[in-house]
Amino acid sequence: MSATREAGHETRDVRLRPVIIGTALITLMTLVAAAGMVALYGALADREAERSRPRNPLASTVSQVPPEPRLQALPIADLQTLREAEDRRLGSYAWVDREAGVARIPIERAIDLLLEKSGEAEQ
């Protein structure tokens, strides 16, 4: 180096050949390792298939429904169905116990009857 040269950035380019060779070697090692893993997996799967007992022919291949309680598949639709059934029940007449003379009446009518009864009690 000469003393007259100013300090600054590198003026030489990087050598491209070692970078390309290094990249090619890393890529080649990665491909060889992947091929080795695929071959090893195949060999181990074949060995396991040979060593394992045959499947019981009575074993069911059809999935069985798990016991109650189960998770809801469509909780929003189930809630909507429940609310519609409750609304129908709250808005209709029906016998609860016909022999005892107990009937179910719509909730609006029950409120009106209670208001009438409370109005009579105040007078």
Q: 86, 105, 85: which is closest to 94 by C-alpha?
A: 105
Report the C-alpha gap between 48 and 41 in whole angstroms.
10
85 assigned to some structural domain: yes
Q: Which of 88, 97, 90, 89 lies closest to 111, judged by CA?
A: 90
Report pTM: 0.38
Supply the pLDDT for residue 49.
Answer: 87
End-to-end Cα distance, the chain: 118
CA–CA separation, 122 vs 117, rounded Å?
9
For the record, the structure tokens of 33 come out as: 């390792």
Q: For the ranges 8-17, 34-43, 77-86, 101-110, which has the lowest average pLDDT?
A: 8-17
Measured distance CA(40)–CA(55) in Å, rounded: 24
Task: Please report the pLDDT score of residue 121 as a whole number.
Answer: 67
Q: How many domains does the chain have?
A: 2
| pLDDT value at 116 more than 80 | yes
pLDDT digits (tens, 9 = 90+) for 37-96: 999 999 999 999 888 877 777 766 667 777 888 888 899 999 999 999 999 999 999 999
- Cα separation of 107 and 118, whole Å? 16
Residue 91 belongs to domain spanning = 80-122
Torsion angle of the four alpha carbons 48, 50, 51, 57, in this order, in degrees rounded to the nearest 10: 100
Residue 4 in any domain: the answer is: no
Q: Is position 98 within any domain?
A: yes
Asked whether residue 73 is assigned to any structural domain, the reply reads no
Provide the token pair at 15.
């050598």
